[in-house]
Amino acid sequence: MTGPGREKNKKLWGGRFSGSSSDITERLSASIDFDRRLYRHDIRGSIAHAEMLNRIGILNNEELDSIVRGLIEIEAEIDGGIFVFSSSLEDIHMNIESSLTERIGEAGKKLHTARSRNDQIALDMRLYLRDETEEIKKLLRGLIELITEMAGSNIDAVMPGYTHLQVAQPVRFSHHILAYCWMFMRDMGRLLSAGEACMGLPLGSGALAGVNYDSDREYLKTRLGFSRVIPNSMDAVSDRDFILDFLYFASVLGMHLSRLCEEIVLWSTTEFAYIRLADNVTTGSSIMPQKRNPDLAELIRGKSGRLFGNLFSLFTVLKGLPMTYNRDMQEDKESLFDSVDTVKLSLEGICEMLSSVELNKERMRESIYKNFSTATDLADYLARKGVPFRKSHEITGEIVRHCEEKKLDFFRLTLDELRGFSDVFAEDAVEVLSPAASTERKKSSGSTSTEEIGKQLKHIRKWLDEMDSSPGTDS
Ligand code: ARG
């Protein structure tokens, strides 16, 4: 018999009750449909707890052995999809404990000594998030590396940089996408700090006040790979900041991904046509045969909404809760699980999409010959020759207006035409109008010149190497 058996509906807390729960109480209480995903972490925590109970003399060796064997068996059954969960046993903790007792008898009933579901769930959630943080770290690192490679191999591509979505100044494509690398590197910092927030051990806090046993929390800490023991039992069972930290990380990352996706959508339009996405990441229309839609980018952009929603949902759940554990806290799970899944899916999706991007460098180059993209360079030319910048700005503005009125090509103005506006213009002025050379005139650190982009690439590659050599949050 697998899973909770004949007594499967018997509540583990049933002693003081004479009546049974109503159907709606059971339906509202049950979290097993979603918290079952914590089973590995719950079992890992229970094994460590049982070992600790053995060390302080509460479980003898045989009891410990049968508990560990029973838990391993349960884990294998859940892994194999044959474990039968019962929603009247509410949650993952009681499903596992009830099944354990059914398998091994009395010893199973001793497992919950010196423990409450309150410190148990606080433990499971931290263990779970520590593992997921490691997974997401790898995916995010992969994205940063991918963008770095794209930037490194397309250094020749020059495109318009925009403000207000109007052509502003020429920039290198590499510079543009490296801006996202920096965003994602900051996201990594937030992820690591969310991971760090999970490194305090709550187990041993009991329901709220601590337990009437000399629990060896140092042993539990080391055994479960935590870096510290949470010093206040009330804080330990009621703190969900570590989840908020993750949800905030996920929201900021989602916002960055959404901005990048917006650019992908824009750049892949016929009007922009700076990039082409491969067939495997575009979708067709059921009515318009010609369509190749960037659905993946739109979906990732859209999914940022649920990431923000999950953060606010948990904020709202927590904001009015008095100390310590309140059942409202059960509502932390779906938000977290959804954000974890959404972040992983989005990161995989964006990597697949970016790997498929083909750049249309010619089209990008054409576009820099628009909207007077080198007007600032021309104003700076005059300023360098001693004309105060405000004055040179005005002269250049007049040249732009003149070109608009007379339908002249700004980029092909002759020296004579320029001198009609200021006799400071000399032979070298014509060259300044060329958008192709504009990026290389940028001298400031962090600018879009090839040299400065080279420095960024070096910095980011070093950062990637250091990430590889630094230990994870999990040991
Ligand atoms: N399923 C519960 C949760 O997720 C576990 C803790 C229940 N504790 C309690 N006292 N009812 O929060």
CATH of the domain at 426: 1.10.40.30
Tell whether 325 and 216 lie within a shared domain.
yes
Mean of the per-residue pLDDT values of the chain:
94
Cα(330) to centroid(ligand 1), Å:
6
Give the pLDDT band (50/70/90) at residue 472.
Answer: low
Length of the chain: 475
Tell whether 62 and 86 lie within a shared domain.
yes
Tell whether 100 and 44 lie within a shared domain.
yes
Mean pLDDT in residue range 119-126: 98
| Final residue in a domain of this structure, among 98, 113, 128 | 113
Active site residue 193: no
For the chain, the domain total comes to 3
Mean pLDDT in residue range 416-440: 93
Tell whether 77 and 149 lie within a shared domain.
no
Tell whether 327 and 229 lie within a shared domain.
yes
With beta carbons less than 8 A apart as the criterion, state whether 279 and 291 touch.
no
Q: Atom 4, ligand 1: which residue's CA is nearest?
A: 330
Mean pLDDT in residue range 293-308: 96
Assigned domain for 81 exists: yes
The pLDDT score that the predictor gives to residue 473 is: 45
Residues with CB under 6 Å of ligand 1 are 31, 35, 91, 117-118, 121, 325, 327, 329-330
Residue 6 has pLDDT above 70, yes or no: no
User: Per the residue annotation, which of 20, 153, 227, 285 is the catalytic one?
Assistant: 285
Active site residue 285: yes
Domain residues for 409?
A: 375-433
Tell whether 300 and 421 lie within a shared domain.
no
Give the pLDDT band (50/70/90) at residue 475.
Answer: very low
Residue 1 has pLDDT above 60, yes or no: no
Tell whether 359 and 379 lie within a shared domain.
no
Span 66-80, pLDDT tens digits: 999 999 999 999 999
The pLDDT score that the predictor gives to residue 243 is: 98
Assigned domain for 438 exists: no
